[in-house]
Amino acid sequence: MAKITVVGLGPGSLLDMTPRALQAIEQAEVVAGYNTYIKLIEELLEDGSKEVIGTGMMQEIDRCRMAVEIAASGKETVVVSSGDAGVYGMAGLVLELILKLPEEKRPEWGGVVAGVSAVNAAASILGAPLMHDFAVISLSNLLTPWETIRKRIEMAAEGDFVTALYNPKSKKRVQNIEEVREIMLKHRNPDTPVGIVTAASREKQSKVISTLQDFTKEEINMFSLVIIGNSQTYVQEGWMVTPRGYEKKETL
């Protein structure tokens, strides 16, 4: 049996990929991933020495099952995800598929190579919005009921967590982000800073800082990550800052 490893590619640029991720890809015989993610690393695959399994959106189970079967047949395999593979990535699915197999048919589990997640990349572009407790919530209701997501948003708002939103808006799913805004406005000032980063660390990266009252008027799509500040978050000179509380110990 060969080894199967799940690799986080980082947010997009090869400069943000960890050395461990690069090494895992270099050592693999087979690379599997969503076509968009394969494109992010195409220059690492251009010599044609590796078998590439690229599939479209909504084919995650088939793609990961193929990768597990190939690793079980004796080929060193990596499954790639953008950001960190353990944050809304393929780590869980691959491990679940392996654990469902009889022990004698399982490939070796190579573990997860952590990557820079989208929330970290977006936060670094906005300034320092995650300096205190924060919640990360996906607004996609393909796998999670919307009522469950609404409850999580409500709890994050009530608890005054900085809240980062993955999958904030798609062409078909346009109302969910408006509901999030309404829920947050019940607990926070309309002037609360909201940062929107689209295509973080990629060629068309963009950044907007708005307010809780107005942020849904901005361009938001599936390549965006939205960070809603807490009651202490402020904007100064174009940067979002959430104080950690050090000023209570001494004057900065």
Residue 192: give its domain's CATH number.
Answer: 3.30.950.10
Alpha carbons 144 and 146: distance in angstroms, whole number = 6
Higher pLDDT, 57 or 224: 224
Specify the DSSP class assigned to residue 83: B
Distances in Å between the Cα of 237 and the Cα atoms of 81, 194, 197, 234, 251 are: 34, 15, 17, 10, 20
Range of the domain at 198: 119-241
Q: Tens digit of pLDDT for each residue in 128-168?
A: 999 999 999 999 999 999 999 999 999 999 999 999 999 99
Alpha carbons 218 and 225: distance in angstroms, whole number = 12
Alpha carbons 40 and 11: distance in angstroms, whole number = 9
* Final residue belonging to a domain, choices 95, 116, 137: 116
Q: How many domains does the chain have?
A: 2
Residue owning tokens 């107005």: 214
Residue 251 pLDDT more than 60?
A: no
* Final residue belonging to a domain, choices 116, 134, 155: 116
Query: CA neighbours within 13 Å on the CB side: how many for 204?
Result: 4
Within 10 A of 49 (CB to CB), how many other CB atoms are there?
Answer: 9
Q: Give percent of the chain above pLDDT 90.
A: 92
Which residues touch 223 (CB under 8 Å, ≥6 apart)? 198, 199, 202
Averaged pLDDT for residues 26-41: 95
Q: Tens digit of pLDDT for each residue in 199-225?
A: 999 989 999 999 999 999 999 999 999
Using CA atoms in the order 222, 89, 92, 173, what is the torsion angle rounded to 10 degrees?
0
Within 10 A of 108 (CB to CB), how many other CB atoms are there?
Answer: 14
Residue 252 pLDDT more than 90?
A: no
pLDDT class of 250 with cuts at 50, 70, 90? low
Q: What's the pLDDT score for residue 236? A: 98
pLDDT class of 42 with cuts at 50, 70, 90? very high
Q: What's the pLDDT score for residue 55? A: 86
In this structure, the answer to whether residues 9 and 103 fall within a common structural domain is: yes
Residue of 111, 72, 85, 99 lying closest to 11 (CA atoms): 85
pLDDT class of 58 with cuts at 50, 70, 90? confident
In this structure, the answer to whether residues 57 and 141 fall within a common structural domain is: no
Q: Is residue 214 within 8 Å of 206, Cβ to Cβ?
A: no
Q: Tens digit of pLDDT for each residue in 89-108?
A: 999 999 999 999 999 999 99
Residue 89: give its domain's CATH number.
Answer: 3.40.1010.10
Averaged pLDDT for residues 34-57: 92
In this structure, the answer to whether residues 236 and 132 fall within a common structural domain is: yes
Distances in Å between the Cα of 138 and the Cα atoms of 208, 239, 247 are: 20, 24, 33
pLDDT class of 240 with cuts at 50, 70, 90? very high
pLDDT class of 2 with cuts at 50, 70, 90? very high
- Domain contains 137: yes
In this structure, the answer to whether residues 146 and 105 fall within a common structural domain is: no
- Domain contains 181: yes
Q: Is residue 4 within 8 Å of 107, Cβ to Cβ?
A: yes
- The alpha-carbon radius of gyration of the chain (Å, integer) is 20
Averaged pLDDT for residues 35-63: 91
In this structure, the answer to whether residues 172 and 220 fall within a common structural domain is: yes
- The whole-model pTM stands at 0.93
- Domain contains 247: no
